[in-house]
Structure 1
């Protein structure tokens, strides 16, 4: 009986040891799977915000145009802007036709598109007193947005972008030129331009800086 009791104790200890090993193994595997999934999601997020090769190929042209005007530090930002505008596709990758001739499609040359896009961005940046967010939204909305913001405190907010979009869409409702491209805009009837333009461009900015290996000067008011 005594031997049987000893064997039982040993068996229980052995079983506890095996159970502990199994639990530890399961825990380690679970943690590894969780970390693997987190890494995968992180990679997916980074991939979704990549610049296209076409956008990257325009970096020298953008940098050269900016350098000629003493503003080379905005190269990465304008690559991000181009990514949001077109992904580098087409003959007007900066979507600069409207600021050039007042209508869509009059630019059919990437070089002219970049020259006009850079010129127009620097124009709105100057009018916005260096406020990058206001300049970005005005690149999308037009110069009138700078005046609109200046009359309401002088600082860009998404709320002002929504108000301006609603106002302009109401004015142009009969033209059938603009439709809501964003679900978020439909609830406000803010269908003129892109009310999320600043956020969308700035989402690309970190990868643009990495891609250009650019040591920019600090760009003022990029993100609060």
Structure 2
């Protein structure tokens, strides 16, 4: 059995701590620090210096005593531990030098840690000299923090309250606005319902009135209205030829209606106004120019002998009613018979029976021939107005719907000139002493042979541009896409530069091709033809035959 070696410990080698000496040193250190703290201005209070110094010394002495006792106990515990550790190492055979070295290292580490701890406390004492001041400062800071938080909470609560109040206010305003809008909508609906009821009652009253007048009158009125509306919406540019009657004529509306109803032509009041407009424009004592009428029984049968406007209207209405009856007019839209009746009003009813026997009605040609025949018979230069229907119907609201019916008489005159070369007959008639471009002179000569220049139906012109300007200014112009009728004037622009340079007369049109008679076509009168809408065609002048 091997021998167990033990380490011999000499009791005299362990030195005891001199606690009294350590305590004395610590007291000196405390006194020194106390003096420094007293001199430090940061530790001064509002109290007296002596009282403050006494309190500080007492407190620091207590702290120093506590630290000294703590260090003494800690040193004793450390020493005891070292001894126990050395004994245990000796029992297990650990070398004494290793035990001493390791124990010394641990001792030094704890010693350094304790010094660092003491230094930290000293710094704390310098920075925060005294627990009372720190408590007061902490209390003040806590109160300030509480006040700040209280203010923030108050501001948040106030803002929340304002938001709630504003939201409630908006809700109330929205409610009243909706209520007011509802009331307005209700009143509007009531007003609309009342108006609808009034309209229904008016319609019923109108229907009752119309029923009382009779179904025939209703049919006539409806036909006039529908035809007028159709003409207004679908008519061509010729609708612009309607000219309203003057205020002087309108002033006789009541008198005209009175005698129109009395003599059975109540639906022709607008036609009577148009006749008055052509005869006198509503001026003078004989506005219907009825002095020479067979119905004048009170005044001499000489021009303007009637001195009573109402009597003039009475005589004129009787004469027109007789002409309409002789022409067998069916209604205010029967334009062919109305033309016949109007020409009979101007010439006398003998023309009506003559025209029906010859051509079954009115034509521009037979009106012109009858005038020439009567003028020759009586030895007068002229007889009546060859264009009387056209002149009256420009004031008649329904007189232009079939405007542009053409004219065969001027075509007949132009046909007889085909083959003429050089055009001397035409440009010398116009007044030129030497040859000029004579296409317009040819058209004017043909119009003059029919009396159309004298009546104002066609202008006398030698320059192509002058003729175009006249037709456009009288709203009697159509563009190249128009389908012309016999007697219309056709204008050409050979170069396509917008400057027209030729004119002729339309002989006929079959819907696809327009056939013409032109003067100065290769310096002669000749027939030609062009497709409808051809690029050479500039436009058409539409005489109001």
Q: Aligning the two structures, in what range does the TM-score lie when normalised by the shorter sequence?
A: 0.5 to 0.7
Once the 2 structures are TM-superposed, how far is the Cα of residue 127 of structure 1 from its aligned partner? 1.2
Q: Which has the larger radius of gyration?
A: 2
Once the 2 structures are TM-superposed, how far is the Cα of residue 106 of structure 1 from its aligned partner? 2.5
Structure 2 unaligned residues grouped into runs of 5+: 1-236, 330-336, 406-545
Say which of 158, 168, 176 aligns to 2:364.
Answer: 158
* 1:67 partnered with 2:266: no
Runs of 4 or more off by more than 6 Å in structure 1? 221-224
* 1:113 partnered with 2:309: no
Give secondary structure in 2 for the equivalent of 1:91: coil
Q: Deviations over 1:101-126 (max 9, x none)?
A: 54323311101100000001011111
Change (3 A) 1:222 1:58: farther
Q: What residue number does 2:375 align with?
A: 169
The answer to whether the 8 Å contact 1:81/1:201 transfers is yes
- Equivalences for 1:95-106 in 2 at 5 Å? 95-99=289-293, 100=296, 102-106=301-305
Q: What residue number does 1:123 align with?
A: 322
* 1:84 partnered with 2:300: no
- Give the structure with the larger strand fraction: 2
Query: For residues 168 and 141 of structure 1, what CA distance do their matches in structure 2 show?
Result: 9
Once the 2 structures are TM-superposed, how far is the Cα of residue 64 of structure 1 from its aligned partner? 1.0
How many residues align structurally?
A: 153
Change (3 A) 1:51 1:114: same
The normalised TM-score by structure 2 is 0.27
Once the 2 structures are TM-superposed, how far is the Cα of residue 222 of structure 1 from its aligned partner? 8.4
Query: For residues 314 and 388 of structure 2, what CA distance do their matches in structure 1 show?
Result: 21
Change (3 A) 1:105 1:67: same
The answer to whether the 8 Å contact 2:259/2:317 transfers is yes
Higher relative contact order (CA 8 A, sep 6+): 1
Structure 1 unaligned residues grouped into runs of 5+: 1-41, 180-190, 210-218
Query: For residues 261 and 376 of structure 2, what CA distance do their matches in structure 1 show?
Result: 40
- Give the structure with the larger helix fraction: 1
Query: For residues 251 and 354 of structure 2, what CA distance do their matches in structure 1 show?
Result: 36
Q: CA RMSD in A?
A: 2.5
